[in-house]
Structure 1
Amino acid sequence: MQLVSGGALRKYVRIAEISFTNRVVYLADHFASSIFLILILFIFSQLWKTVLGPSGEIAGLDSTAMLWYMLFTETIALSIPRAHYLVSEEVKSGDVAYKLIRPYSYILYYFAAYCGEFAVRAATNLSVGAAFAYLTMGPLTVNWGKFGWVLLGFALATSINFLVCFCVALLAFWLEETRPYFWILNKMTFIFGGLLVPVEAYPEGLRRISYLLPLRYSFSAPARLVVDFDYSLLWQMLAGQLVWTVLLAALAAVMFRKGVRRVHVHGG
């Protein structure tokens, strides 16, 4: 992904705004879809109350913190737009060739649209989930003075999730069907992303694997930072996020360039 000038940047900001506005039109549908999040939180609120009781902990988090932690991981997971499926279909059908002649970067176009839609989905899921968590488990103590770091972590997490999904979608240049790989990614997210419990609670071997993969830095780490802010976790998370953002952006650019060349060679 090439760097963009100020004028080009405004163009992608506008794309994000349009995507945001388009999703706001369906705001009621987004709130309705949050019912699934409430169901998940209800089940685990009862589980943590029973298993942990008033004084038990998992990886340093009590039952209240565990539910809030899960709220943030699930908000990220459930708010991810499904644009990568559209990318995959465009690649398979050859429609991607028509978008190559348009005056914008294909990758940055989808990233901007992704961010706009994610913002709406995350806002609805978080507001509904936070209301439920507050009523069932009590408030979350937030250090507002450090909230800027949390927002930075979530912004980088959003970038990583987009790039991971985009890279999988680009496999359509070489593979007939990519849905099995998205299914595998989804299952890996549950484990290595720490959707249900922090990866710090895992056995050492599984924890080490989680630390090496990008999923921990886009789900578990930013969620834990909200409920249990710690500077050592912050620096570790930001370092991992920056490394993975650069690596995945480079991988996406290389895959796209090679894939487009493949389309041209085959007369797409």
Structure 2
Amino acid sequence: MTYISLLKYWTIAVVHMRSRLTYRTALIAEIPIIILRVWISSHFYQATYNSSTPDQFAHLSVAAVVWSTMFVQCFNTASSRSAAKQIDKEVKTGTLAYSINRPYSYILYHYAAFLGRTLPALLIDVPVGMLAAWYFVGPISTSWTALMCGLCLMLGGYTLNFLFELSIGLLAFYIEDTSSLIWLYSKAIVFFGGFMIPLELFPPSLKIFAQLLPFGQLYASAAQLIVAWQPATCLRFAVLQLIWLIIAGLLSRHLFNKGIKNVSLQGG
């Protein structure tokens, strides 16, 4: 990819970032929700820890658990299911037939737009969540290595999330309504993505199963590395995420190529 191409997609991301910043009220409205979630998590886990033995919690402190769920919630909240809904709409209305003939990659356009929409909310949600977690349960000890690796996995998680949303949106070629799939995908992230309970606190057999699923590789892996850094865990998460990125990439590419072929055969 040339410098001109990179600049083109960077511009697309900036345009969508500015577009989301236009709706400042919606971004600010997320602040009390984030604080409320952290407050609920802190009280829930403090009560749970006080009524249980320490060895039941995988050697994670209350602060580590609350910070981990906070990061997952902030990462996930910053990226709404907008990509899947937008692509679904383009397929149904037929505007995709025009979009694919424009001088850019359809997939990279939506990826840049997805990141552009996500960044403003991320830059607000995470600092607010960190301040709330620090106030309710205190700070955690981490390192620059943990932060950098966590950020890399977070970016990989956003890419993986986009690829799944792209695939769901492209399924509009074959099913009438993808809103149910979007709903199921969102709930899978809540239950198996560390949104409410860190995967480390799952029962052993369920924890292994959940960590192998793609939902835990969206944001939970990044959050766990930030709060409890371990080189071996980082390598394992990176490999798992890479495998799912390849699978999701191949799936979305197959659905896109097959859908475009149908558009061409049917004249849009």
TM score, norm. by length of structure 2: 0.93
8 Å CA contact retained: 1:79, 1:118: yes
* Distance apart, 1:231 and its partner CA: 0.6
CA distance 1:247–1:6, shift in 2 (3 Å):
farther
Tell me if the contact between 1:45 and 1:136 (Cα under 8 Å) persists in the aligned partners: yes
Partner-residue secondary structure (3-state), 2:86: helix
Separation in structure 2 between the aligned mates of residue 29 and residue 193 of structure 1, nearest angstrom: 25
CA deviation profile, 1:116-146 (whole Å, cap 9, x unmatched):
1111111111121111111111112221244
What is the total number of aligned residue pairs between the two structures? Answer: 265
Paired letter, 1:94: G
Is the counterpart of residue 246 in structure 1 residue 246 in structure 2? yes
In structure 1, C-alpha distance between the alignment counterparts of 2:148 and 2:59, rounded to whole Å: 23
For 1:27, the aligned partner's letter is R
User: How far apart are the structure 2 equivalents of 1:140 and 1:13?
Assistant: 34
Q: Residue 36 in 1 paired to residue 36 in 2?
A: no
**Counterpart in the other structure of 2:267:** 267
Once residues 220 and 60 of structure 1 are traced to their aligned partners in structure 2, the CA distance between those partners, rounded to angstroms, is 17
User: Partner residue of 2:73?
Assistant: 74
Q: Within 5 Å, which residues of 2 pair with 1:197-216?
A: 197-216=197-216
Taking the aligned partners of 2:233 and 2:119, their CA distance within structure 1 comes to 25
Q: Secondary structure at the match of 2:226?
A: helix
Are the counterparts in 1 of residues 12 and 112 from structure 2 also a CA contact under 8 Å?
yes
Decide which moves more: 78-87 or 47-56: 47-56
Indicate conservation of the 8 Å contact 1:16/1:114, yes or no.
yes
Q: Which runs of 5 or more residues in structure 1 are unaligned?
A: none
Partner of 1:24: 21
1:107 aligns with 2:107: yes
In the aligned structure 2, how far is the partner of 1:146 from the partner of 1:213? Answer: 23
Conserved 8 A contact 2:146-2:225: no
Q: Report if aligned partners of 2:17, 2:119 keep a CA contact under 8 Å in 1.
A: yes
Distance between the aligned counterparts of 2:142 and 2:208, measured in 1?
A: 29
What amino acid maps onto 2:132 in structure 1?
F
Where 2:57 maps in the other structure, the secondary structure is coil
Matched, 1:45 2:35: no
Ranges of 4+ aligned residues in structure 1 off by more than 4 Å: none
Q: C-alpha separation between the residues in 2 aligned to 1:45 and 1:150?
A: 22
Following the alignment from structure 1 to structure 2, what is the Cα–Cα distance between the partners of residues 232 and 44? 28
Q: Is the 1:73–1:220 Cα contact (8 Å) retained in structure 2?
A: yes
For the residue of structure 2 that corresponds to 1:34, the secondary structure is helix
- What residue is the counterpart of 1:130 in the other structure? 130
The alignment's C-alpha RMSD in Å is: 1.7
Kindly provide the amino acid, as one letter, of the partner of residue 58 in structure 1: F
Q: Which amino acid aligns with 2:153?
A: G
Conservation of the 8 A alpha-carbon contact between 1:59 and 1:198 = no
2: distance between equivalents of 1:173 and 1:187? 23
Q: Do the aligned residues in 1 keep the contact of 2:173 with 2:259 (CA within 8 Å)?
A: yes
Counterparts of 2:241 and 2:48, CA distance in 1: 33
Measure the CA separation in 1 of the matches of 2:149 and 2:166: 26
Q: Does 1:175 align with 2:172?
A: no
Give the whole-Å Cα distance in 2 for the aligned partners of 1:51 and 1:143: 28
Q: Secondary structure at the match of 2:102?
A: coil
Equivalent AA in structure 1 for residue 73 of structure 2: E
User: More displaced, 60-69 or 18-27?
Assistant: 18-27
Q: What's the offset of the Cα at 1:200?
A: 2.6
| Alpha-carbon distance in structure 1 between the residues aligned to 2:194 and 2:32 | 22
| 1:50-61 equivalence runs, <5 A | 50-53=47-50, 56=54, 58-61=57-60
Amino acid at match of 1:77: N
Q: Distance in 1 between matches of 2:238 and 2:108?
A: 22
User: Are the equivalent residues in 2 in contact too, given 1:45–1:67 (CA < 8 A)?
Assistant: yes
Name stretches of at least 5 consecutive residues in structure 2 with no aligned partner. none
C-alpha distance after superposition, 1:222-246 (max 9, x if no partner):
1111100111110011111112112
Task: Give the distance between the partners of 1:52 and 1:60, measured in 2 at CA.
Answer: 11
